[in-house]
């Protein structure tokens, strides 16, 4: 067996999947207790900014926006100002004709999900898409539910079905994956500085204090930035 520099086939790239952001709305957030509201909004913003910056095919969807659940989070709507969300009546977005038509129009076989609530509006499309042969990834810290138990059981159920769990920061860094990709370097570090908590603070500190830059061509490598963040 010989090792090569080829990336693993399961790793996401900006153009091999469709991101579906589901029901990031006020009414759904009010009852979400499995994750802090500030962290949830920040994770949603991190995912949205990552997808927009890397040109990921993205579907936004809401449920009963005008009659019950309210508008989508500003952290998402402000990133996609010209993209209207598909409003549904179905709890499972995969049972909505407009959503499925958009999935088919885009034509990607990998689906990445994030939204509220994990046990209903995320499990539904995850299970449905897997049954139809799609690969499904779930950004678990950009999801939430009415209790930690509800969220965790939903994630466990989806993993048993074959879903791949990941985090919002993991999503961003997997899209970048090489600090030598200069065309998206500033995009990635900029999103991280705004949205990635202590890691973002570490990047800001290292760049400001001693001009650190990730990658072999910079004054310091990624390990220096990581050390500065600790």
Residue 135 lies in a domain: yes
In this predicted structure, what is the pLDDT of residue 227? 36
Which of the two residues, 216 and 117, has the higher pLDDT score? 117
What is the pLDDT confidence band of residue 177, given thresholds at 50, 70 and 90? very high
108 shares a domain with 27: yes
Mean pLDDT within 82-105? 97
In this prediction, residue 70 carries a pLDDT of 93
10 within a domain of the structure (yes/no): no
122 and 28 fall within a common domain: yes
Confidence of residue 224 (pLDDT cuts 50, 70, 90): very low
> What Rg, from alpha-carbon coordinates, does the chain have?
18
CA–CA distance, 88 with 102 (Å, rounded to integer): 13
CB contact at 8 A, 139 and 112 = yes
Q: Edge-to-edge, what's the strand order for the sheet holding 135-144? A: 86-88, 57-63, 17-22, 110-116, 135-144, 164-166
User: Does residue 225 surpass a pLDDT of 80?
Assistant: no
Residue 170: inside a domain, yes or no? yes
Structure tokens at 14: 């900006």
Q: Over the stretch 122-175, which tens digit does the pLDDT of each residue have?
A: 999 999 999 999 999 999 999 999 999 999 999 999 999 999 999 999 999 999
Domain of residue 120, CATH code: 3.40.50.850
49, 157: one domain: yes
Among the three residues 159, 174, 189, which one is the final residue of a domain in this structure?
174
* Structural domain total, the chain: 2
End-of-domain residue from the set 174, 191, 212: 174
Measured CA to CA in angstroms, residue 21 lies from 3, 58, 112, 172, 221 at distances of 36, 8, 8, 15, 34
Residues 35 and 128 in one domain: yes
Examine the domain organization and report whether 194 and 94 are in the same domain.
no
Residues 89 and 186 in one domain: no
Residue 60 has pLDDT above 90, yes or no: yes
Q: Which residue has the higher pLDDT, 139 or 230?
A: 139
Q: How far is Cα 36 from Cα 151, in angstroms, rounded to an integer?
A: 13
Structural domain contains residue 12: no
The verdict on residue 193 lying in a domain is: yes
Same domain, 109 and 193: no
Domain co-membership, 160 together with 209: no
Q: Is residue 160 in some structural domain?
A: yes
Question: Are 99 and 29 contained in the same domain?
Answer: yes
Q: b or e along 111-144 (b: 16 or more beta carbons within 10 Å of the residue's beta carbon)? A: bbbbbbbbbbbbbbbbbbbbeeebbbbbbbbbbb
- 162 and 72 in a single domain? The answer is yes
pLDDT of residue 184: 97
The model carries a pTM of 0.91
Mean pLDDT of the chain: 92
Q: Which residues of 153-169 are buried (b: 16+ CB within 10 A; e: fewer)?
A: ebbeebeeeebeebbbb
Q: Are 147 and 104 in a shared domain?
A: yes
pLDDT of residue 215: 66
Length of the chain: 230
Q: Is residue 6 domain-resident? A: no
Q: Is residue 110 part of a domain?
A: yes
The arithmetic mean of pLDDT across residues 73-96, rounded, is 97
pLDDT band, residue 230 (cuts 50/70/90): very low
Parent domain of 212? 179-229
The least confident of 7-11, 170-174, 176-180, 199-203 is 199-203
DSSP structure string for 50-79:
HHHHHT-EEEEEEESIIIII-PBPHHHHTT
Same domain membership, residue 114 and residue 205: no
């Amino acid at each position: 067996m010989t090792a090569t520099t080829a990336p693993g086939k399961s790793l996401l790239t900006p153009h091999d999947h469709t991101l579906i952001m589901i029901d990031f709305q006020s009414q759904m957030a009010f009852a979400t207790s499995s994750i802090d509201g500030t962290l949830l909004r920040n994770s949603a913003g991190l995912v949205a900014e990552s997808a927009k910056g890397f040109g990921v095919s993205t579907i936004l969807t809401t449920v009963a926006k005008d009659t019950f659940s309210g508008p989508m989070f500003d952290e998402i709507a402000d990133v996609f100002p010209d993209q209207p969300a598909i409003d549904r009546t179905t709890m499972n977005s995969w049972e909505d004709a407009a959503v499925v038509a958009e999935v088919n129009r885009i034509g990607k076989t990998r689906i990445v999900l994030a939204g509220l609530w994990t046990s209903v509006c995320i499990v539904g499309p995850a299970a449905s898409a897997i049954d139809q042969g799609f690969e499904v990834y779930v950004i678990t810290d950009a999801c939430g539910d009415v209790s930690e138990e509800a969220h965790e059981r939903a994630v466990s159920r989806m993993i048993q079905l074959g879903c791949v769990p990941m985090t919002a920061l993991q999503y961003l860094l997997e899209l970048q994956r090489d600090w030598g990709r200069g065309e998206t370097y500033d995009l990635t570090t900029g999103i991280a500085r705004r949205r990635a908590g202590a890691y973002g603070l570490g990047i800001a500190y290292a760049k400001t204090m001693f001009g650190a830059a990730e990658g072999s061509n910079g004054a310091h490598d990624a390990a220096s930035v990581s050390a500065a963040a600790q």
